[in-house]
Amino acid sequence: MDSILPILQQAKAASRQVAKLSASQRSQIVADIADALEKNFDKIVEANQKDAARMDPADPKYDRLLLDKDRIAGIASDARNVSQIEDPVGNVLLKRAMESGIDLQKVAVPLGVVGVIYESRPNVTADVATLCLKSGNAAVLRGGSDADDSNRAIVEIIQNVLKKHNVTPDAVQLLPTDRKFVTELLTAEKYVDIIIPRGSAGLIQFVRENAKIPTIETGAGVCHTFVEASADLDAAAEIVVNAKTQRPSVCNSLDTVLVSAEVAEEFLPKLLPGFKPFDVEIYADDRAFEILKSAGWKKLHKAQSEDFGREFLGQACSVKVVDSFDEALDHISEFSSRHSEAICSTDPELIDRFLTEVDAASVMANASTRFSDGALYGLGAEIGISTQKLHARGPFALEKLVTEKWVLRGEGQIRK
């Protein structure tokens, strides 16, 4: 294959057909996809075994790749949930009569063709396809080569359901994994309406550099927790330990602890019992280094400048002692990826200042950054966590897979 443009062109044509389906047709298709995924679990497992056979079981991605009967039931159950949630298509966002008498409405409508670029987890294939169909969009999926057999099996099952509903299978297409096609996808503004990259910082950077199509960036989380002098230090230690250790591989886990100089000596040792079971590696600035060394912590390094603003994605973090509230805010402003930022404090004024002045998708007081999550926010199936400011910010779901359209109904009006 020389070019994916013919595939994208078919997706565009298909998007016009999908946009015409009624809400109940869209729900029924997604519900039928859930059933079909369950019925065909042996076919999916067989394809998944081929993928697994190509990967070293010691690879940390191995577990994320594997599908068994339970996991497929989970994917089907997620699809069933998507079929039942309310979708925003057709919502009238504004309605008024213009001075000329024209009837004006602003209506939520599907985006058209949604392109998603992701890495190894095959469940994303079903998630994204069902969310796109439910919201009246066509999807072009560019999954990782690691999971290509699994993805092909899942997409084939979805396409068979589409055919049964007399919808063109072009509405959900899997792109070849050849890298040269990613650039082609990112510049096909004629056929693709939006690109959502889900994956590593490297992928997102590549998309930002090369996309001519509007994108919703997701992912990279460099998250701070600032333990301010008035904080309940025991509660703060619990929050920091949870934010760091509970699931360190995800974007809302903690990367840097900032602590007020006044309480650093008392606070930092309180982290160690919680860090102990996970053997957390600490990159500490000079003052924190001395305190933690005196407290007997072994996995301790002097922080280098690159350890601040670093996303660790493992059982490691950096620590810095700050002399003032403003120094903490300046540090966050400089190094945050604007994903999730937290303060531990009992001072209502400082809490308010933090929540107002810190520029991030989610800001929180006296809670673990791990709470930054679409399902916990009550949004339903999450598409990703946006770290940009336009259209979607923070965890986002189905309600952001639409755009607006102004609809005017006149009776021959002309402009004077």
Q: Which residues bind a copy of itself (CB under 8 A)?
A: 16, 19-20, 96, 98-100, 102, 104, 111-112, 189, 193-194, 208-209, 212, 214, 216, 232, 235, 238-239, 241-243, 246, 333, 351, 355-357, 359-368, 370-372, 376-378, 388-391, 393-395, 403-415
Q: How far is the CB of 313 from a copy of itself (least distance, A)?
A: 17
Q: How far is the CB of 341 from a copy of itself (least distance, A)?
A: 10
Instruction: Pick the closer one to a copy of itself by CB: 39 or 276.
Output: 276
Distant-in-sequence, close-in-space partners of 149: CB < 8 Å, separation ≥ 6 = 47, 48, 50, 51
Instruction: Pick the closer one to a copy of itself by CB: 166 or 356.
Output: 356
Q: How far is the CB of 332 from a copy of itself (least distance, A)?
A: 11
Instruction: Pick the closer one to a copy of itself by CB: 46 or 189.
Output: 189
Instruction: Pick the closer one to a copy of itself by CB: 34 or 109.
Output: 109
How far apart, in Å, are the Cα atoms of 210 and each of 125, 183, 332, 338? 23, 7, 28, 22
Q: CA–CA separation, 253 vs 60, rounded Å?
A: 18
Instruction: Pick the closer one to a copy of itself by CB: 20 or 54.
Output: 20
Q: How far is the CB of 255 from a copy of itself (least distance, A)?
A: 16
Q: How far is the CB of 229 from a copy of itself (least distance, A)?
A: 17
Strand ranges (DSSP E) for 198-335?
223-227, 254-260, 281-284, 300-302, 316-322
How far apart, in Å, are the Cα atoms of 197 and each of 14, 156, 280, 316, 386? 22, 22, 30, 26, 10
Q: How far is the CB of 299 from a copy of itself (least distance, A)?
A: 22
Q: CA–CA separation, 128 vs 260, rounded Å?
A: 43
Instruction: Pick the closer one to a copy of itself by CB: 47 or 322.
Output: 322
Instruction: Residue 191: name the closest of 213, 206, 169 by CA.
Output: 213
Q: Which long-range contacts (CB under 8 A, 24 or more apart) does 356-360 make?
A: 357/329, 358/329, 358/332, 358/333, 359/333, 360/332, 360/336
